[in-house]
Amino acid sequence: MDPKVHDEYFAGLALLEVPYHRSSPNPELPLMSSNSPETDEPKSLTAAWIASILLIVVYVIGLLIFPPLYEAPKGDPSSTVLFIGRFHPILLHMPVGILGILCLFELICSTRRGEQRYGEASLLMLLFGGAGAVFAVFAGIMLSREGGYVGGNFSLHQTMGLVGTAGVLIALVIRLVGMGRGSMELLNAYRAVYFISFGIMGFGAHFGGNISHGNTFLTQHAPAWIKGPMVGMEKWMLSFVQKPRVENTEVKTEVTTVTTVVKTEVKTEVKTEPKDPVATTPPAGGDEKLVFEHVILPILTAKCNKCHSEEKSKGELRMDTYELAMKGGENGKNFVAGKLAESLSITRIMLPIDDADGEHMPPDGKDQLTPEEIALLKWWVEQGASGTQKVNEAKFPAELQATVDGILKG
């Protein structure tokens, strides 16, 4: 070909902005722009845009209808709300799984070739994962209407779920714009937003696990080198949402005369007791261990307080302090000194696990009390359900002494 004709031909291609590869005979023409798609005709994203906009509208309207609560709900929710709400654990795990797999796909799609091959599959997973997250949020809000969900763990779980889901929806919009323009810069920005949002959702899921299993569930068996940082980070995050404990500084002095006959000697003790029942507890160790705090409370903590504590008080019942355990909840007295039949917790523990009304406690599927633990609770109630009785003064049944010793040793 004549050189002049050759130059005019490729100059015309340049004017028409035809993509040109370095392998062309003319090395002076520019490379393809990194923002331009390599396919001749990009596939339509109309359906994806419609689905995404509908999903965002549903999320916003849903939050207006069922706004998140951070305090005890007022009034009783409908049976439909509670029915849907209890699907929250099921709906939660599906989007987490999809969005977790998407993380791997997005690492592959970080190259242009990977995006061309798997970009549409990633978009589809993002749509399904985002939709699952939206419905999991709604189910969680409905479940919270049941009551009993309070405290720092719940606040962080709910807030991070809301923020993480919103971030995923924003990331979805950025991905669609990036795919429509063929811009790797926008797609990389999308991945940054997505990874951050998914990380926030992961932290939120952890605090949700704390609600169900207790604060030490994840860290209890962690190696020492990682346990410290994990616990420290958790406490730091909880410090932003937990209300500071108000100490009761008012102290009243009561004179209690305890007459002890030891070789005909009478001993008089003067005790100073604060009003707060928690503050009345003597320090653990030696002869100062108390039956309730060091024998009974560990049983309640392990088997009951995952649902009846400061973090979660179902039925308005808490058993993490002596006074609250004795106070009971919305269904009546929890422990009545000397009266097993009137102590609601005892009667429900003694019901068959497959009770037709579902009133057996703990619920089926949760850790059940052992026969020895049940016997200890019954013995404690029969002996007067004291909060100040000392271990060394208690006369435990011989058959339960080994269980008591095991609890005291931790």
Q: C-alpha distances in angstroms, 141 versus 61, 193, 245, 312, 381?
A: 14, 25, 27, 15, 38
Tell me the pLDDT of the chain (410 aa) as tens digits. 565 555 555 555 454 444 434 444 444 434 333 444 444 455 689 999 999 999 999 999 999 999 999 887 888 889 999 899 999 989 989 899 999 999 999 999 999 999 999 999 999 999 999 999 999 999 999 999 887 777 888 899 999 999 999 999 999 999 999 999 999 999 999 999 999 999 999 999 999 888 877 777 788 788 989 989 998 998 899 888 876 654 443 433 333 333 333 333 434 444 444 344 433 344 444 467 888 889 898 888 887 876 777 666 666 688 888 888 887 776 777 888 888 888 888 888 888 876 766 677 877 556 788 888 899 888 999 888 888 888 888 888 888 888 888 888 87
Residues pairing with 332 in the sheet: 329
Strand (E) or helix (H) holding 168: helix 152-181
pLDDT of residue 265: 41
Q: How many residues does the chain have?
A: 410
What are the residue boundaries of the structural domains of the chain, listed by start? Answer: 46-214+228-236, 277-409
Phi-psi region of 77 (alpha: psi -120 to 50; beta: other; left: phi over 0): beta
* Separation of alpha carbons 64 and 233, rounded Å: 32
Q: Tell which residue, 368, 403, 395, has the closest CA to residue 296.
A: 403
> In CATH, what is the architecture of 46-214+228-236?
Up-down Bundle (1.20)
Are 217 and 180 in contact, with CB atoms under 8 Å apart? Answer: no
Q: Confirm whether pTM is higher than 0.95.
A: no
* Separation of alpha carbons 191 and 198, rounded Å: 10
Residues pairing with 290 in the sheet: 390
pLDDT of residue 135: 96
Can you read off the two tokens belonging to residue 150? 């309070």
Can you read off the two tokens belonging to residue 40? 């001749």
Are 281 and 383 in contact, with CB atoms under 8 Å apart? Answer: no
Residue for token pair 């070909």 = 1
* Separation of alpha carbons 75 and 78, rounded Å: 10
Helix, strand, coil % (nearest 5) of the chain? 55, 5, 40
